[in-house]
């Protein structure tokens, strides 16, 4: 499932990308533009906006009821919209949604802090925005959070 999230759900967009979902964060306030984008890209809209309906468009809209990020994720999990697949996590750029690729260690030098470069061997890069990623303790913390989140639903 591919998602487009309205301007109220930026944090949720990041977490859906972490889980591996193709997720676009639509920052504009133009409702018609959002609807047309979702239809053109065949994406499901996630929103907190209760007035958003798909009367004129052939799209699916999921209206969330929770305001806090982990409650929003639990809502999506409990309704069966998302699932946890360990082989799909950490594959997307958190900034632009592109699939990240392996980066030769030498090419990470000067692009990450020296301490990180000296203590890590595997690096990844977003081919679109050039953000560099590595498997630090934050990844383990996020993975643990996801496992707990999905095990309770």
pLDDT in tens, 93-107: 999 999 999 999 999
Retrieve residue 31's tokens: 């409702």
Confidence of residue 72 (pLDDT cuts 50, 70, 90): very high
pLDDT digits (tens, 9 = 90+) for 19-61: 999 999 999 888 899 999 999 999 999 999 888 877 778 899 9
Select the more confidently predicted residue: 67 or 142. Answer: 67
Average pLDDT, the chain: 92
Question: Residue written as tokens 């643990």?
Answer: 144
Closest Cα to residue 8, out of 55, 66, 57? 66
Residue from 79, 44, 54 nearest 65 by CA: 79
- Gyration radius from the chain CA atoms: 17
pTM for this predicted structure = 0.89
């Amino acid at each position: 499932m591919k998602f487009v999230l309205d301007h109220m759900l930026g944090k949720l967009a990041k977490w859906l990308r972490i889980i591996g979902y193709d997720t676009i964060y639509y920052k504009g306030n133009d409702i018609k533009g959002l609807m047309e984008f979702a239809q053109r890209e065949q994406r499901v809209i996630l929103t907190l906006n209760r007035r958003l309906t798909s009367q004129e468009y052939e799209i699916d809209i999921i209206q969330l009821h929770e305001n806090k990020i982990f409650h929003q994720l639990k809502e999506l999990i409990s309704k069966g919209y998302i699932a946890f697949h360990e082989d799909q996590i950490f594959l997307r750029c958190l900034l632009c949604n592109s699939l990240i690729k392996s980066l030769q260690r030498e090419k990470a030098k000067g692009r990450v802090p020296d301490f990180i470069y000296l203590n890590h061997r595997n690096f990844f890069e977003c081919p679109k925005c050039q953000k560099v990623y590595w498997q630090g303790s934050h990844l383990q913390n996020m993975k643990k959070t996801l496992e707990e989140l999905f095990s309770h639903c």
